[in-house]
Structure 1
Amino acid sequence: MKLQSLLLAGGALLSGTAASAGGYQVTLAGQKNNGMGGVGVGLSLDQAAMFYNPGALAMVKDRGVQLGVSATLARQAFRAENGSVQRELQNNTTTPFSAFVGFGPTEGKFRVGIAIYTPFGNKLEYAPGWEGRFALTEIDLKSIYVQPTVSYAITDNLSVGAGLTYLALGSVNLKRDIPAQNANGEFASIELDGKAERKFGFNAGVFFKPSEKLSIGVSYRSKIDAQVKGGDVKFTNLSGTAAPNFQATEFDATLPLPATTSVGIGVMPNEKLTIGFDVNFVEWSAYKTLDFRFNAPVNGQTVSSSKRYYEDALTFRLGGQYQVTSGLTVRAGGAYDNSPVRDGYVTPETPDADRITGTLGASYKFGEHFSVDLSTQFVNLKKRTETQADLINNGTTDRVAGTYKTQVVVPGVGLNYTF
């Protein structure tokens, strides 16, 4: 067995299948934004501005509480190179959530708030006996971010803001088979279970509204290195012959959560129609290798690396909303994500590809203070094929050659209360 196979599984440590962004980034904060293709940097729709552009929060005049939850329903398939069987992944539904609370005087220049959201999360199970089972069979990932935010309107047209991002909770459990059988003919398996250290980062933004019909926003979210130290390593079904080669009980690993720079424009042709356009630049090139350190040998090694060599990538988003009646608003949008994963570097835990997303949404207001948001995203990833020749040429034979295809549906619901 090659230790690099273990590293491949570890690539899922804080990643998972992204529902609406490239690589292992997930953008599902704010149900209004979700229905508009994920735009929000150049708009000041509601308290979810804390996530998209803290500078825009000062322009949100209503104080309010917003709760939202989405369900990622993924269908993934894999066909091995020269294989005749298509493997359907046994995906489980995950429910990333968000909560935003914004305060401030109605006519004041200051706004403060706190945001709680789950930017990374996934639960995935490959079909028994699939060709890549020695790389990955299961993953269960959870994470929670907490972000206190302050925003200030310098003038009636210009505001700035910043938030402190705090990785409050991060956990992962993943499993894979080992190509070693016991006396009963069962393959051995390894399980990694760990918690990420609590870390701080920040995001900041500027929002400018030169007229009633135009707004512009710029935001920056800093990089955070998510670190797992002293994670548990467990082996099962090892034969007496193989057991001496697998002595590790703990592992350390680091995964970069890359910096993102975003620019957004909002256009309001009239009081009922709002259109937004965002461009996100994600510095994925920070993810070059995944390095593991074990407290004891795993097949004779305690340290090894697995190549990633991600590339920086752009995401383009376009969306709009239209107020049909005083109570009903409808939304639609779309996005195009460039995958940061280079040819020959695709891994089972993140079988990423360029993706096209279409979105729909609606809100209905019940009375003066309460409203409900609904959204649905339809994400289609292009087929992604890597050959054994690609893997050999790139020195990435710790993963499996074949073709991946992924489609994701993400329905969501949000509750809003203003005061």
Structure 2
Amino acid sequence: MEALEVQPWRDFWKAVGAPAKDIANSWRAFAARHARAAAPLITTLAQCAARHRYTALFLIAERTGMGLCALRTLADRRADSDVRYDDDDDPWELRELPRDERDGLPAPPYTSSRPHTGFPQLPLGGLRVVESTRGVQGPLATSVLQALGAHVIRIEQPGGDPSRGAAPLAGGVSARFAALNAGKEIRQTDIRTAAGRSAGAETVAETDVFLHTWAPGEAARLRLDEEDLARARHTVRTPDGTPAPSLVTLLDVLGGHLAAESVLAALLARESGAATGRLRVDSSLLGASRGLLRPLLRGLDEAPGTQPAEAGLVAPTAEGLIAVGAGAGTTPAELATAPTAAWLGRLHAAGIPARAVVTDLAALPQDPALSAYFTHDGCARPTPPWSFA
């Protein structure tokens, strides 16, 4: 189940018959599920849900705005129509929108009326990106574009994004929020109002990229879909191995990078002349999950001769942990006989890749091998891993 706000959560569990006290007490833990890699459910809520059939719960969820879906097997996913097995199985879709003479669009190719200013030493210097996103996927995508030189304008609700206050804080702002949004220009706009939608369209009007993470159909409902924005100003380019819990929201992170990749593909198509009109890119967490599951969806895990070659291992030494590459011929029992430093010397001399494992995440930014990739500003934030000359 999924709820981004407390009201659908409260209405759903009230309709299911859960006690009001337990509903209130359960929300805080559920709201922190991503940061804690767990979403414990109060026993009474689970018991109340168990009294209903899934179809009944689904109807209640539809009525209250709660997101609900059944867990599905790999075989179920393989049967889906969007799972393809060719080389063009991209996790995002790029398409050129049809031109409509009634829109008064200029003849192709499109040229922006806005001068390209900014940081020309970066590939996207001078480009302008507007986002209306929340969570991880969208903000991460635009932070990648920002790191490549784009100027990013972030539209937030009046009072700011609620996730600004999520612990842990650094300088009065959520460290998680800062890691995804530092350096972006913030504009507070209530797009649920006519004035806010007009202001949003005006913000997008002179931009190269508009990226949002709204639910399907929400852009059309708000009258901020590509056709609406094109009529507002005609320089718009685009609307847009045992498993264990991890504090890295892997699917969101991959989804963010794939969203950035899809935007870059659209910009490249525009600049190269391969596309002459407005472009729309659609990406999703489902597409990212398809990328992660691709070998399993294709059944490669079951085919003979497709098992991975000898892998390395991570094992304790007499002092710490060590990660050893394939071909070392060592066993965990042997590694436990000497300190990590001694094993590193022996393995490197033999040409075997090996590295001490850092188990304290807070120590990673101070690791000499990694310190160059972090910026310290109340908290440690990753810096772009590239440079251009």
- For the aligned pair, the TM-score class normalised by the smaller chain equals under 0.3
Higher relative CO (Cα under 8 Å, sequence separation at least 6) belongs to 1
Which protein shows a greater Rg?
A: 2
More helix by share: 2
More strand by share: 1
